């Protein structure tokens, strides 16, 4: 699994087993897998959920930088894509910020 | 090159999701934008003081940082990154390294205004080519919202609670941006994440690419500690700026530049009202607190205007 | 072909640092180690080293900067004493846990309070659980030699731990004695280059150092760190052997002085061993069978070898230039007696003398008292008192 838009090193993300032995664990707590937090899903923190109303979206891009969880990504053409629901914590900042009401904020239904 | 939100949007993300910061935290928003100011071909060595940002973004075995990252202790982000920068200078001279590496240290107000001020001051004074970014959320949030010297007067924190006898923090906020300006650094700025992030991005870019030490003080609202409605992050940032509670300004080689003068300066109570930590200020009999805060905000704003030659 | 010189202990340390030519030196002055960064600054100012000298604003920042520099991929060194070492206390643990082979020259001085700039071992002893390798040096020659070996020990892939080289403040740091120096090119060849596998400045493989490490993984990291310290003993011996081939000067885990047929022995660190050797010779001339053991490697503590070496004696006095204030005995005494017990060596009677605190001079007469007491114990089998203070006005 790699970063959706930019994978500078083109590497497969790795992490460390919860059951790893002391002989196998990475030395000194150093992690040589930069950016591997992507493997950790925080989407289940949500109780509310943003929904992208594409037809209303003017691609003004005011939403993507306000996301604390890098869950609104922008593609090579400079257009936002759908939410990364693996990481979105449902804070609602993007919905508030959208000037075109193109982001709905609804209850998360599991 | 003028700031263009859409152009900047195409730059690589250097900070991933999957960290454990609270939903709606102001700090990672700031970090993302600051890191975006790096040139894509440049490598960064990023340091963070112990605090919300650090513990949430590097919790073994996961790191949100795509660049190199080091956490050392609480009070030494300045010294640690200074050391890394010194090694870079040494190794570059020996021809052992290629390309440009930039050095950025992040610290909360706890690790910057208080316990970390010494190592910050030392690092800045010694002239290391680095940026220190303080994400100021106005209290020791990570340990449970205790007061810091950055906490606004009368704010309710767990070590300055709004009690029956003492109504919150009794001291005025320390002005760290001014302290750092008086280190006579090439670049010092106070900024916040507002609007399309132009102010924050441009200042981050200047800070990173000005040779020598640079300091950025960035307002970082904390929905948990400030007790405002979580989705309102950008609104809170805006109010802080429009009330002149958090002026946006730069000090470039000693010259003060105010980047934004609100046409209609809002009364500071507009900024205080949405926050639960100032709830007691709105009780009958406590009007004097808001008046005091307004007077202090006005006084500091006037001083800043004078420094910028605009008074 | 050695270079014969006359240098103080501090000058010798600084000279070794010059020859090592580290990438970064971050240091803050404190008596009696101050001369080390001072001498080194002159080297920097004169362009005879390539080092970036970081004149930090405190010792805490000194070690913090060393951690940043070493993690970045450079060799970092520093020097300090007493409260300076104490001020770095949390960062010492961090350096060891992050497995960064930083080298520190500790010019031993007593911890405050009260304030006192003279020698005892309370500073380095206070750091004995920090995870640092600790080497003790009797004189300028040993300090110089230990420092030259420090990087080879610390940077070894089976070790990767920081190393502290200790010597007595003022007594050897400021005393000019003869010394044999190794030529620059030989030092360079011996110490070699620092080639870390993971470092912050590696743009092809960025890393994250210093995590929040919860109970899921922290214990395994500590176990791994413990193993590194265990490996250090073997590596120290290997490096010392290589050093002996280079210089002819042999170093082990400890020095045994006239112990072969000794009935009693004293265990003592650093410069006092010099005085004690003189006393041993003096008593030997009188036909008394006395000897001395001078530990060089205190961390890791060579339990097997110390127990083995001490097992032959009838009575042993461990001399501590630091007190643990555990109401039982000093740190070296605690380590020695626990080694003996753990190894099932129950023969010798072991007593403790706390001496020289705050730089109180310890004279040959005092040490002679110790030996006489030991011989008394050897003859009668009776111990009067285990935990003693030597040289204090009663």
Q: Which of residues 13-32 of C touch B (CB under 8 A)?
A: 23-24, 26
- Please classify residue B270 by burial: count the beta carbons closer than 10 Å to its beta carbon, then call 0-12 exposed, 13-18 middle and 19+ buried: middle
pLDDT at C88: 98
CA distance B248 to B20: 29
Q: Which residues of B touch C214 (CB under 8 A)?
A: 59-60
How big is chain A, counted in residues?
Answer: 110
The partner residues of B103 in beta bridges, in order of sequence, read: B45
How many domains, in total, are found in chain A? 2
pLDDT at A4: 43
pLDDT in tens, C210-266: 999 999 999 999 999 999 999 999 999 999 999 999 999 999 999 999 999 999 999
Task: Give yes or no: residues A97 and A46 share one domain.
Answer: yes
Q: Are C239 and A58 in contact (CB under 8 A)?
A: no
In this complex, the residue of C51, C58, C202 whose CB is nearest that of residue B90 is C51
pLDDT at A2: 37
CATH number at residue A79: 3.30.70.20
Other Cβ atoms closer than 10 A to C200: 33
pLDDT at C56: 98
Taking the Cβ of residue C95 and every Cβ of chain B, the question of whether any pair is shorter than 8 Å is answered with no
Q: Which residues of A touch C217 (CB under 8 A)?
A: 16, 18, 20, 25, 29
C147-181 burial, b at 16+ Cβ within 10 Å, e below that, comes to bbbbbbbbbbeebbbbbbbbbbbbbbbbeeeebeb
Task: Give yes or no: residues A83 and A30 share one domain.
Answer: no
pLDDT at A110: 74
Distance from CA of A13 to the nearest CA of B (A): 10
CB pair distance less than 8 Å for C217 and A16: yes
Task: Give yes or no: residues A68 and A52 share one domain.
Answer: yes
Taking the Cβ of residue A27 and every Cβ of chain C, the question of whether any pair is shorter than 8 Å is answered with yes
CB-based contacts of C341, cutoff 8 Å, min separation 6: none
Taking the Cβ of residue C204 and every Cβ of chain A, the question of whether any pair is shorter than 8 Å is answered with yes
Q: Are B86 and B37 in contact (CB under 8 A)?
A: no
Which of the other chains make 3 or more beta carbon contacts under 8 angstroms with chain B? A, C
Q: In C75-139, where does DSSP find H-type helix?
A: 82-87, 89-97, 122-126
Chain B residue whose CA is closest to A80: B9
Chain C residue whose CA is closest to B64: C208
Chain B residue whose CA is closest to C27: B83
Task: Give yes or no: residues A66 and A91 share one domain.
Answer: yes
Taking the Cβ of residue A7 and every Cβ of chain C, the question of whether any pair is shorter than 8 Å is answered with no
Tens of pLDDT along chain B (311 residues) come to 689 999 999 999 999 999 999 999 999 999 999 999 999 999 999 999 999 999 999 999 999 999 999 999 999 999 999 999 999 999 999 999 999 999 999 999 999 999 999 999 999 999 999 999 999 999 999 999 999 999 999 999 999 999 999 999 999 999 999 999 999 999 999 999 999 999 999 999 999 999 999 999 999 999 999 999 999 999 999 999 999 999 999 999 999 999 999 999 999 999 999 999 999 999 999 999 999 999 999 999 999 999 999 97
pLDDT exceeding 90 applies to what percent of chain C? Answer: 99
CB pair distance less than 8 Å for A15 and B21: no
Taking the Cβ of residue B160 and every Cβ of chain C, the question of whether any pair is shorter than 8 Å is answered with no
Q: Are C65 and B80 in contact (CB under 8 A)?
A: yes
Other Cβ atoms closer than 10 A to A56: 12
Distance from CA of C89 to the nearest CA of A (A): 18
Distance from CA of B92 to the nearest CA of A (A): 22
In this complex, the residue of C211, C220, C227 whose CB is nearest that of residue A20 is C220
Taking the Cβ of residue C61 and every Cβ of chain B, the question of whether any pair is shorter than 8 Å is answered with yes
- Which one of A29, A32, A33, A35 would you mutate to disrupt binding with C, by most C Cβ within 10 Å of its Cβ? A29
CB pair distance less than 8 Å for B90 and C70: no
Q: Could you give the count of Cα atoms lying within 13 Å of C241 in the half-sphere of its Cβ? A: 6
For residue B146, give both structure tokens.
């205790």
Q: Are B278 and B272 in contact (CB under 8 A)?
A: yes
Distance from CA of B95 to the nearest CA of C (A): 12
Distance of CA C226 to the CA centre of its chain: 19
Q: Are B245 and B255 in contact (CB under 8 A)?
A: no
In this complex, the residue of A15, A16, A61 whose CB is nearest that of residue B9 is A61
Cis check for the bond before C215: say yes or no (omega within 30 of 0): no
pLDDT at C1: 63
The pLDDT mean for chain C works out to 98
The pLDDT mean for chain A works out to 91
Task: Give yes or no: residues A72 and A46 share one domain.
Answer: yes
CB pair distance less than 8 Å for B84 and C72: yes
The pLDDT mean for chain B works out to 97
In this complex, the residue of C61, C76, C209 whose CB is nearest that of residue B122 is C61
- ipTM of the shown complex: 0.96
Residue A6 in this model has a pLDDT that exceeds 60: no
- Which one of C210, C214, C217, C219 would you mutate to disrupt binding with B, by most B Cβ within 10 Å of its Cβ? C210
Band the pLDDT of A3: cuts 50, 70, 90.
very low
Stretch C179-192: mean pLDDT, rounded? Answer: 98
Distance of CA C246 to the CA centre of its chain: 22
pLDDT in tens, C250-271: 999 999 999 999 999 999 999 9
CA distance B217 to B248: 10
CB pair distance less than 8 Å for C211 and A34: no
Chain C residue whose CA is closest to B123: C56
CB pair distance less than 8 Å for C160 and A27: yes
Domains in chain B, please, with CATH?
Answer: 5-307 (3.40.50.970)
pLDDT in tens, A45-94: 999 999 999 999 999 999 999 999 999 999 999 999 999 999 999 999 99
pLDDT at B1: 64
Band the pLDDT of C2: cuts 50, 70, 90.
confident
pLDDT at C131: 98
Task: Give yes or no: residues A49 and A29 share one domain.
Answer: no
Q: Which of residues 232-291 of B touch C (CB under 8 A)?
A: none
Residue C350 in this model has a pLDDT that exceeds 90: yes
In this complex, the residue of A21, A27, A31 whose CB is nearest that of residue C208 is A31
CB pair distance less than 8 Å for B29 and A65: yes
Chain A residue whose CA is closest to B40: A8
Whole domain around residue A71: which residue ranges? 41-107
In this complex, the residue of A28, A32, A34 whose CB is nearest that of residue C221 is A28
Taking the Cβ of residue B157 and every Cβ of chain C, the question of whether any pair is shorter than 8 Å is answered with no
Taking the Cβ of residue C214 and every Cβ of chain A, the question of whether any pair is shorter than 8 Å is answered with no
CA distance C66 to B84: 8
- Select C254-390's CATH number: 3.90.470.20, 3.20.19.10, 3.40.50.360, 3.40.50.920: 3.40.50.920
Distance from CA of B165 to the nearest CA of C (A): 38
CA distance B122 to B83: 12
Taking the Cβ of residue C380 and every Cβ of chain A, the question of whether any pair is shorter than 8 Å is answered with no
The partner residues of C3 in beta bridges, in order of sequence, read: C181
Other Cβ atoms closer than 10 A to C373: 20
CB pair distance less than 8 Å for C91 and B72: yes
CA distance A62 to A80: 10
Radius of gyration of the CA atoms of chain C, in A: 21
In this complex, the residue of C100, C207, C224 whose CB is nearest that of residue A25 is C224
pLDDT in tens, C310-331: 999 999 999 999 999 999 999 9
Rounded alpha-carbon distances, angstroms, from residue B155 to B111, B146, B172, B191: 19, 10, 10, 21
Q: Which residues of B touch A42 (CB under 8 A)?
A: 17-20
CB pair distance less than 8 Å for B119 and C26: no
Q: Are B259 and B210 in contact (CB under 8 A)?
A: no
Task: Give yes or no: residues A31 and A6 share one domain.
Answer: yes
pLDDT at A1: 32
pLDDT at A5: 42
Q: Are A22 and C227 in contact (CB under 8 A)?
A: yes
Q: Which residues of B touch A89 (CB under 8 A)?
A: 23-24
Task: Give yes or no: residues A45 and A91 share one domain.
Answer: yes
CB-based contacts of B200, cutoff 8 Å, min separation 6: B30, B33, B34, B191, B192, B193, B194, B218
Residue C167 in this model has a pLDDT that exceeds 70: yes
Chain B residue whose CA is closest to A60: B6
Q: Which CATH superfamily is domain C3-247 in?
A: Thiamin diphosphate (ThDP)-binding fold, Pyr/PP domains (3.40.50.970)
Taking the Cβ of residue C255 and every Cβ of chain B, the question of whether any pair is shorter than 8 Å is answered with no
CA distance C74 to B275: 47
Q: Which residues of B touch C23 (CB under 8 A)?
A: 86-87, 90-91, 94
CB pair distance less than 8 Å for B91 and C68: no
Sheet strands side by side (includes B43-48)? B255-258, B249-252, B187-191, B214-219, B131-136, B101-108, B43-48, B68-71, C208-209
Task: Give yes or no: residues A101 and A57 share one domain.
Answer: yes
pLDDT at C158: 98
CB pair distance less than 8 Å for B12 and A5: yes
Please report, for chain C, the start and end positions of each structural domain, with discontinuous segments joined by +: 3-247, 254-390
pTM, to two decimals: 0.97
């Amino acid at each position: 699994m790699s970063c959706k838009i930019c994978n500078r090193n083109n590497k497969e993300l790795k992490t460390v087993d919860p059951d790893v032995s002391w002989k196998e664990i990475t030395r000194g707590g150093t992690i040589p897998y930069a950016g591997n937090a992507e493997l950790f899903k925080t989407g289940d923190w949500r109780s509310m959920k943003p929904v992208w109303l594409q037809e209303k979206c003017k691609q003004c891009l005011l939403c993507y930088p306000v996301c604390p969880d890098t869950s609104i990504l922008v593609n090579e053409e400079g257009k936002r894509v759908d939410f990364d629901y693996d990481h979105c914590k449902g804070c609602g900042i993007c919905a508030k910020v959208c000037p075109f009401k193109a982001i709905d904020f609804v209850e998360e239904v599991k | 090159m003028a700031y263009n939100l859409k152009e900047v949007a195409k730059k690589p993300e250097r900070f991933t999701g999957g960290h454990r910061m609270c939903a709606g935290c102001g700090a990672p928003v700031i970090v993302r934008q600051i890191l975006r100011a790096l040139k894509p071909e440049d490598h960064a060595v990023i340091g963070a003081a112990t605090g919300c940002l650090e513990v949430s973004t590097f919790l073994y075995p996961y790191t949100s940082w795509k660049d190199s990252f080091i956490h050392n202790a609480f009070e030494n982000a300045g010294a640690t990154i200074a050391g890394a920068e010194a090694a870079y200078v040494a190794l570059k001279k020996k021809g052992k390294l290629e390309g440009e590496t930039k050095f950025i240290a992040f610290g909360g107000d706890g690790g910057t205004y208080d316990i970390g001020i010494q190592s910050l001051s030392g690092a800045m004074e010694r002239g290391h080519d680095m940026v220190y970014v303080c994400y100021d959320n106005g209290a020791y949030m990570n340990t449970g919202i205790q007061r810091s010297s950055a906490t606004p007067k009368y704010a309710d924190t767990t070590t300055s609670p709004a009690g029956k006898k003492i109504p919150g923090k009794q001291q005025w906020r320390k002005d760290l941006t001014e302290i750092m300006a008086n280190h006579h650094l090439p670049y010092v700025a106070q900024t916040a994440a507002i609007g399309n992030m132009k102010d924050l991005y441009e200042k981050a870019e200047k800070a990173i690419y000005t040779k020598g030490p640079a300091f950025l003080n960035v307002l970082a609202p904390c929905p948990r500690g400030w007790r405002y409605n979580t989705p309102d992050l950008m609104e809170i940032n805006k109010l802080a700026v429009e009330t002149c509670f958090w002026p946006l300004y730069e000090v470039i080689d000693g010259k003060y530049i105010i980047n934004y003068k609100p046409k209609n300066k809002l009364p500071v109570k507009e900024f205080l009202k949405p926050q639960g930590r100032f709830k007691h200020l709105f009780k009958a009999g406590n009007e004097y607190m808001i008046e005091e805060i307004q007077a202090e905000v006005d006084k500091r704003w006037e001083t800043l205007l004078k420094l910028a030659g605009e008074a | 072909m050695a270079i014969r010189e006359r240098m103080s202990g501090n000058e010798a340390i600084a000279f070794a640092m010059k020859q090592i030519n580290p990438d970064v030196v971050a240091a803050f002055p404190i008596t009696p180690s101050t001369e080390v960064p001072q001498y080194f600054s002159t080297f920097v100012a004169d362009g005879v080293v390539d080092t970036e000298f970081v004149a930090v604003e405190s010792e805490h920042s000194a070690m913090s900067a060393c951690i940043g520099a070493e993690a970045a991929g450079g060799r970092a060194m520093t020097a300090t004493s007493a409260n300076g070492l104490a001020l770095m206390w949390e960062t010492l643990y961090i350096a060891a846990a992050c497995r960064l082979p930083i080298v520190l020259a500790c010019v031993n001085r007593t911890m405050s309070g009260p304030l006192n700039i003279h020698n005892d071992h309370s500073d380095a002893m206070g750091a004995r659980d920090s995870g640092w390798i600790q080497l003790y040096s009797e004189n300028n020659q040993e300090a110089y030699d230990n420092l030259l070996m420090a990087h080879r020990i610390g940077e070894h892939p089976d070790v990767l731990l920081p190393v502290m080289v200790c010597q007595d403040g003022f007594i050897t740091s400021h005393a000019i004695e003869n010394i044999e120096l190794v030529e620059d090119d030989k030092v360079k060849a011996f110490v070699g280059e620092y080639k870390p596998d993971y470092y912050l400045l590696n743009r092809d493989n960025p890393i994250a150092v210093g995590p929040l490490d919860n109970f899921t993984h922290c214990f395994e990291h500590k176990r791994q760190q413990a193993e590194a310290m265990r490996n250090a003993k073997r590596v120290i011996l290997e490096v010392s052997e290589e050093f002996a081939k280079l210089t002819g000067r042999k170093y082990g885990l400890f020095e045994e002085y006239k112990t072969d047929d000794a009935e009693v022995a004293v265990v003592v660190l650093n410069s006092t061993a010099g005085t004690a050797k003189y006393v041993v010779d003096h008593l030997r001339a009188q036909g008394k069978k006395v000897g001395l053991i001078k530990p060089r490697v205190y961390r890791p503590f060579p339990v097997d070898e110390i127990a083995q070496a001490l097992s032959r004696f009838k009575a042993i006095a461990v001399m501590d230039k630091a007190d643990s204030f555990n109401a039982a005995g000093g740190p070296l005494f605690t380590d020695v007696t626990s080694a003996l017990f753990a190894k099932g060596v129950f023969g010798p009677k072991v007593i403790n003398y706390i001496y020289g605190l705050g730089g109180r001079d310890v004279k040959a007469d005092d040490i002679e008292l110790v030996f006489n007491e030991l011989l008394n114990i050897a003859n009668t089998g009776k111990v009067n008192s285990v935990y003693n203070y030597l040289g204090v006005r009663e």
